[in-house]
């Protein structure tokens, strides 16, 4: 379960940011996770609670924004969101498209204090 190591990294990064900002506690952690990031959101939530114990994030809520896969279709000359992240074909014209624009993110977006 690599989500536990990801959760530990999130806690370390957020704890460092909190200390640098002079915050003693973090109440909310905002993440963006792409559909292709290979992270199971529920497993990350479970792991985050374990990793955060005894840290300034011990009581923090983890809010995850799941980012769909978006590709650039050269035929349509536009970005399109894929209804199925396993089929890299433009949903408008049906042409293959492998230029991923969004969907691989694993980003710590924001921290909130009480």
Annotated binding site: which residue ranges? 2, 73, 76, 90, 93
Supply φ then ψ for residue 94, to 5 degrees.
85, 0
Binding residues for Zn(2+): 73, 76, 90, 93
Supply φ then ψ for residue 5, to 5 degrees.
-70, -35
Say if residue 32 is exposed, middle or buried (CB neighbours under 10 Å; 0-12, 13-18, 19+): middle
Distance between CA atoms of residues 54 and 110, nearest Å: 21
Tokens of 6: 């990801």
Tokens of 101: 């624009």
Binding residues for Ni(2+): 2
Residue 61 · residue 25 · CB < 8 Å = no
């Amino acid at each position: 379960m690599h989500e536990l190591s990801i959760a530990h990294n999130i806690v370390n990064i957020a704890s460092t940011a909190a200390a640098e900002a002079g915050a003693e506690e973090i109440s909310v952690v905002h993440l963006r996770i792409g559909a292709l990031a290979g992270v199971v959101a529920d497993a990350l939530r479970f792991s985050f609670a374990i990793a955060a114990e005894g840290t300034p994030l011990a009581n923090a809520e983890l809010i995850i924004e799941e980012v769909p896969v978006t590709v650039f279709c050269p035929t349509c000359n536009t970005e399109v969101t894929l209804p199925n992240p396993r089929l890299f074909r433009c949903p408008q014209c049906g042409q293959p498209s492998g230029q991923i624009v969004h969907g691989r993110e694993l980003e710590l977006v924001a921290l909130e204090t009480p």
